Amino acid sequence: MITSFPANRLHSSTHSDSSPHPQCRICDWRQAIIKNGRHILDLGLGGPAVWQRELEGHFGLLSERCTSLTALRCDGDSMCRELFPSLKKIFVRNPELQSLEIGGLRCLEASLVLSNLKKLVVTSELTAKDVLYLLDVFLHLEELTFVLSDRPWACLNGTETFNTDLVRVEPSHLKRLRVLRIEGYADIGSILSRCPNIEHICFDGAYANAHSITDVLPSGVFSRLTSLSFHDSEAWPGLLAALPPHQLRNLSIYCIYMSKLLDILECQYMSLEHLDLSCSITCECSMAIFTKCVALKTLKLNIPEDQLDDLRFIIFQPWGCTLLEELEFPLMLSRSFTGSPLQKLAALMKTEVPAVTDGAMLDRLVDWGQAQDIFMERLGTLTRLRRLVLSKTSAYISWRLDSGLSRLQNLDRLEVLHLGRQQYFQGVDELQWMKRNFPRLLKLVVSKIEDDRMLEWLLVHWPELTVVELANVEEGAWR
C-alpha cells in the first residue's frame, strides 16, 4: 500500500488495516508500479496481513518493473515468504542494489546473487558460521545487522553441517556491525577477528560468553574502531580493554551499573568526542568526565535519581570540556553541602582529584545560592555550546540576572535552551538579555510562563523564538 510516492521513493506500509486516503488503494499501488517502477530507487514492503493478502497477486509487477532499486526493505518473515518467487527475480534484475533489509533465511539465501551490497539487515537468527559465510559472499559489505544464535538449526543452509572449507580467511571490508541480540554462547569473537576495518560496533544485548572474546582476537584487530554502543556493559569489559589508548571517539552505554567505566575512560580521555551514558556512575567518574575529557563535543548523562547528589560535585573543579557543543544532564543543587558530602569531597581531594579547589570555594558552596553562582560560572566557560538541556532534575535553579544568568553572556552560539520542569524563570528583563546575548536561540523550553507580560513581549519582540511550556506537553514531546 502506498503512503507516499516522491519522485525517487516508494514505501508500502501502514499502521492500520484501513486507510481514509483513496490514493492508498491497491489499484493505485499497481498503477504506480506500472507507470513509475523503473524510476523507483527505494522500495519498502510491509503492513498488516490484510494488505499483504490483497497485494499477493501483484508481486510479479515488482520484478518486472522495478529494475533500478538501490534499497529494498521487506518487513517481517511472512512478507518475505510471500515475496520469495518475486524476490529472486528482483535480486537478479537489480544488480546495483546496495541496501537490503530482509527476514527469513530462505529469502536471504536468494539474495546471495547480489554483488554490490553494502548494507544488510537480517531479522532472522544467524550462527557465527552463517555470518562468516555472508562476509565471504558480499565482498563489498560495509554495514551488517543481525541476531546471533548458537542454535544449529539457525544455519543459513538449514542443516547442522557447514562446509568450512568455503569460508575464506581474507579480512572483511565491514565498517559497521550491529548485533541485535546474542543467544546462548554464540561465537562473536570469530566474527570480530575477521573485521580489521571495523569502525563502529553496537551490541544490543548481553552475551553469556563475553569473557572469552579477547582470547580469539588477533593483535591490532581494533586498530580502526572509534565508536562503541552497547547495553549490559558489565558483559563487555574485555572488549573495551582491548582498545588502543586514546582511540575511541564515540561511546554510548545503556545499562544498570558500570563499575569499570572510570578505568575505561582513563584510557580514552584525550580522544572521546561524543559520550552518552544512561547508567549508574560514581562521583569520581562524573568529575573525571567534566574535567579530563577535553575533546568532548557531545555529552549526555541520564543517571538514577539516587545519584544526583553525587553529580553536584562536578562544580568543585574548573571544567576541561570547553569544546562542548551539546550538553544534556540533570543537576541537583537544592541541598546544602554539609556533613557527609563535605567529608566525601575531602576524601576526593586527597585521592582521586587532588587539585579540586581551595577552602574558600568550600565556604561558598555551603550556601545554595552561591553554589548556583558557581554552576553558572562553569556553564559560562562552554562558549561553543549550541544545545543545553537540564531536564529530569529536582533542583530549583533560578535563571534570573541576579542569580548568575549574566555569567552566560559568552554563549552566543546557543540554539536550544531547556530549563527543565522545576527551573525558576521569570521576568521580561531576562528575556531581553537573552535576546541580546543568545542571537541564535531558536527554542526555549521552560516549565511554564506565568507572567502574561512575558508572553506579550515574546509575541511582539521575539516572534521567531519557539517557546515550549512543559506543563502543557508530555515528557519528550518538546524534542
Give me the DSSP letters along 4-19. Answer: E--TTEEEE--SSS--
CA dist 38 and 183 (Å) reads: 41
Measured from the Cβ of residue 218, the count of other Cβ atoms closer than 10 Å reads: 9
Give the pLDDT confidence score for residue 460 in this predicted structure: 94
The string of pLDDT tens digits covering residues 223-258 is: 899 998 887 655 566 677 778 889 999 999 887 666
Maximum Cα–Cα distance across the chain? 80
| CB-CB contact of 156 with 180 (8 Å) | no
Torsional class of 376: left (φ above 0), alpha (ψ -120 to 50), beta (otherwise):
alpha
pLDDT digits (tens, 9 = 90+) for 86-122: 788 889 999 889 999 988 777 788 888 898 999 999 9
Tell which residue, 118, 146, 116, has the closest CA to residue 132: 146
Long-range contacts of 50-57 (CB under 8 A, 24+ apart): 50/17, 51/1, 51/14, 51/17, 52/78, 52/79, 52/82, 54/26, 55/1, 55/12, 55/26, 55/29, 56/82
Helix or strand holding residue 65 (H, E): helix 59-65
Q: What is the pLDDT of residue 209?
A: 56
Phi, psi of 301 (to 5 degrees): -120, 125
Handedness of CA 182, 185, 191, 197 (dihedral sign): positive
Q: Are 323 and 294 contacting, i.e. CB atoms less than 8 angstroms apart? A: yes
Give residue 212's pLDDT: 55
The alpha carbons of the chain give a radius of gyration, in whole angstroms, of: 27
Q: Is 177 exposed, middle or buried (0-12, 13-18, 19+ CB in 10 A)?
A: buried
By the 8 A CB rule, do 362 and 343 touch? no
| Regions of the chain short of the pLDDT cut 70 | 1-29, 46-58, 75-83, 152-170, 184-186, 206-219, 232-238, 256-259, 309, 332-369, 392-396, 421-426, 471-479
Beta pairing partners, 310: none
